[in-house]
Every structure is written in structure tokens, then in C-alpha cells.
Amino acid sequence: MIHHLTVASSVLASTLRGWRGTSSTTRKVEQASNDLILFDQEGCPSCRMVREAITALNLDVLIMPCPTGGKNLALMQRESGYKTVPVLYDAELEHKTHSADDIIEYLYQKYRGESAPQKAMPNWQSNVLSRAASLSRLNAGMSVRAARKAEKPLTLYSFESSPYSRPVRELLCELELPYQLINLGKQQWSDMGPAKARFTLKPYQPIKHSKREAFMAMYGDVQVPFIVDPNTGIQMFESKDIILYLRNTYALDEI
């Protein structure tokens, strides 16, 4: 029951954002592996707009969660000189960028060779609606919780607007667990809808040579969230199970 309410409020959050962060480009993206590190807070309105652009551009990033009161935020502030998230570090070019506007423009210039479209750029309306989206989730994914450290980053397959993936990302942020975020945004009509009830009658086939196709070849279907934890060897579908797993494995404030 509680999980249903969580997902319902996550649907509301995505609706307030007009379902931005659902589709990924089908254009070929040349991305060096492990080039992008995003210092991020899941519930932060500006970070959300950066993650929406990351889904649209079909990029993957290492997320360094920076919840308020946590060690990562203090480290980021010390190392970068910036006080607030989002901060993007491009390890390939050893370049750091701060603030949603500059990061989004940087990503479009680097991976598209063009300026970011107006609709991807923050403005007062998108700031208000992104703030409302955070409120609809009662500001989850903003404050640190006591947690065990993970030796290696986890991997999460997701896309920004996915109502089932958001609560997982919020928990990863609160527990300050770094993770490689692999975006599996929608690229065609038959990607739409939940995995078990797609908007197509034909057998599901992802776009050829896409990350979705690679995922399907490995795991038999495409459904997010999907988590891989190299620290324990688990691989898991189902948001409810993933949340339970993360709490049991890493949270120190669970009864």
C-alpha cells in the first residue's frame, strides 16, 4: 500500500515536469566511458533539470549523491569551490561546470555540437514546477541518512521521469551511495508504457544497436529500475524489492 502511494506521488512529480526526461535521442552519441561525474541531489529542482537533459541526450553518468548534511556535499564544496549542486565534472577534458544552465548548455555543445534548445533550459516556470515536483515527493532524496559505505559504485538502469525508478534514486541519494546511472529513455512508440503492458501488440523489439537492445540481450526484457551491486553480487528488478534490499544492506537507521 505504502509503495503504491510512493509510486502515485512519483507519477505526480513526473506529471508536474510534463514527463520531461522520458525520451532519449536515437542519434548516435559518442561518449567516452566514465567521462561524466555529476554531483547531484535527487530532490534538488536544478539537478532534476540537468538529469532530464542527460536522459534526452541518452548519456550515462556517475552520480555522486550530495544530500544535505552528508560527506559528499562537504567534499564537493572543498574540492570544487562551489557551494551548491549541481556540479558536473568531465574527467575526459578535466573540466568542471556549475549551475543547471551552464551544465545543460555544456552537454548539448559537447555531445550534439549545438546550443541547448530553449525547452531544455531552466526558466522561472520550470523552476517552480521542479520545486513542486520535489514537494509532491515530500522532499525525499535531499537529506542524508546514516548508512554503510559501498566500496564500489552500484549501477542503476533508469530514465529521469520513470515513476518506479525515482524512489530508488532518492534512497541511493539519502544513503550517499555513488552509482553509475545508465539511461534507458524511450526511443520509439513500443518502448512506452510499463514493461508488462506496452503500447504495442507485437512482440517487443528495442531499436537496433541501442543500449535497450544490449540490456534486453543481457536480462531478457527491458524494465527499469534495475540495479547491479558489485559489492554483494546482486542484480535486481522491481522497485519495491530494490528499496528493501538497499535499506537492509546499507541503511543504519532501519529498526
Ligand X SMILES: N[C@@H](CCC(=O)N[C@@H](CS)C(=O)NCC(=O)O)C(=O)O
10 binds ligand X (CB under 6 A): no
Q: Which is nearer to ligand X, 115 or 205 (CB)?
A: 205
Q: Which is nearer to ligand X, 2 or 252 (CB)?
A: 2
Rg of the chain (C-alpha set): 17
Identify residues 80-109 at the interface with ligand X (CB under 6 A): none
164 binds ligand X (CB under 6 A): yes
* Count of residues of this chain found to bind ligand X when the rule CB under 6 A is applied: 14
Torsion over CA of 250, 91, 39 and 237, rounded to 10 degrees?
Answer: -40
Amino acid at 64: M
Q: How far apart (Å, rounded) are the C-alpha atoms in residues 154 and 178?
A: 7
Partners of 37 in beta bridges: 62, 89
Closest separation in Å from C-beta 37 to ligand X = 25
Identify residues 192-221 at the interface with ligand X (CB under 6 A): 194-195
CA quadruple 57, 62, 67, 69: dihedral positive or negative? negative
Closest separation in Å from C-beta 206 to ligand X = 8
Show the site string, 217-236: x = touches ligand X by CB under 6 A, - = not. Answer: -----xxxx-----------
Residue with grid cell 529500475, as numbered in its chain: 225
**Binding residue for ligand X, selected from 50, 130, 239, 246, defined by CB under 6 A:** 239
Closest separation in Å from C-beta 164 to ligand X = 4
**Binding residue for ligand X, selected from 130, 162, 180, 210, defined by CB under 6 A:** 162
Categorise residue 100: left if φ over 0, alpha if ψ from -120 to 50, beta otherwise.
alpha
C-alpha cell at 195: 514493461
Residues 6+ apart with CB under 8 A from 194: none
Amino acid at 42: E
Q: How far apart (Å, rounded) are the C-alpha atoms in residues 223 and 144?
A: 28
Partners of 228 in beta bridges: 155, 235
**Binding residue for ligand X, selected from 163, 173, 175, 227, defined by CB under 6 A:** 163
Interacting stretch for ligand X, rule CB under 6 A, among 91-99, 100-108, 156-164, 228-236? 156-164
Q: Which is nearer to ligand X, 35 or 213 (CB)?
A: 213
Q: How far apart (Å, rounded) are the C-alpha atoms in residues 196 and 93?
A: 41
C-alpha cell at 19: 514527463
In the bound state, the residue with its beta carbon closest to ligand X is 194
191 binds ligand X (CB under 6 A): yes
Closest separation in Å from C-beta 84 to ligand X = 29
183 binds ligand X (CB under 6 A): no
User: Which residues make up the interface to ligand X (CB under 6 A)?
Assistant: 162-164, 186, 191, 194-195, 222-225, 238-240
